[in-house]
Structures are given as structure tokens and as C-alpha cells.
Amino acid sequence: DTGVSQDPRHKITKRGQNVTFRCDPISEHNRLYWYRQTLGQGPEFLTYFQNEAQLEKSRLLSDRFSAERPKGSFSTLEIQRTEQGDSAMYLCASSPLRGSTEAFFGQGTRLTVV
């Protein structure tokens, strides 16, 4: 297990299309987080899971965004009816429930909406 893995690394889509991203956390990490990062800004929190339960969602997360972690392992983030403002880097991070506070980040999925 070499770390948090995200797929795809890059995605270009037309406005109005739906996109889905996948995140595979580090094995046995109970917590999984999604963040969005735009150029020149820090990552913004979107949502996080503890095992399969979605514990918190940011007010930034519109109804077009949905995230799942059905078996408490990998997670998917779906954006419906994409808009140009959705263009950003989508970062996933994971952390263990006990023993460490460190969040380990994936390399991200860069979304470009044209």
C-alpha cells in the first residue's frame, strides 16, 4: 500500500456532463476526506466519512455533489451537471481513527469543465 490513490488524475468534461472520481484510502484508515483546491488557494473541505458513515458535509457542497463510501473502503465523489466553476483539483485524504492525527493526501483529480 503506497498511499492514497485517486483516479483519474485528470478529467476534462463539457459543461452539463456528470463526472465521478474515485479515492482509495490507505488500508485500515477509517476516516476519508474530500477537499477541493483552486489555484492559489488552500484546500477547502467538502465532506468526510468515518467508515461508511458520512459524518459532515460542507455548506459549500451543493446538491449537485454527492459522495459515497458504501463499504467503508474506497469512496466516490460525483458531480452532476458540471459548471465551469467546478473546475478545480479534487483532493482525497485519509487518516486512522486512532493513533495518529495526520491526514495523508492523494495526488488529486484535476477537473476542467469546458
User: What residue ranges bind other proteins (CB under 8 A)?
Assistant: 4, 30-31, 33, 35, 40-45, 48, 56, 58, 91, 95-99, 101-108
Alpha helices in the chain (DSSP H): none
Q: What single-letter amino acid sits at 11?
A: K
- β partners of residue 13: 113
Is the CB of 4 or the CB of 113 nearer to other proteins? 4
Query: 10 or 81, CB closer to other proteins?
Result: 10
Compute the least distance from the CB of residue 74 to other proteins, in Å.
17
Quote the least distance from Cβ 95 to other proteins, whole Å: 6
- In angstroms, the CA 3 to CA 92 distance is 11
Cα 100 to chain centroid, rounded: 21
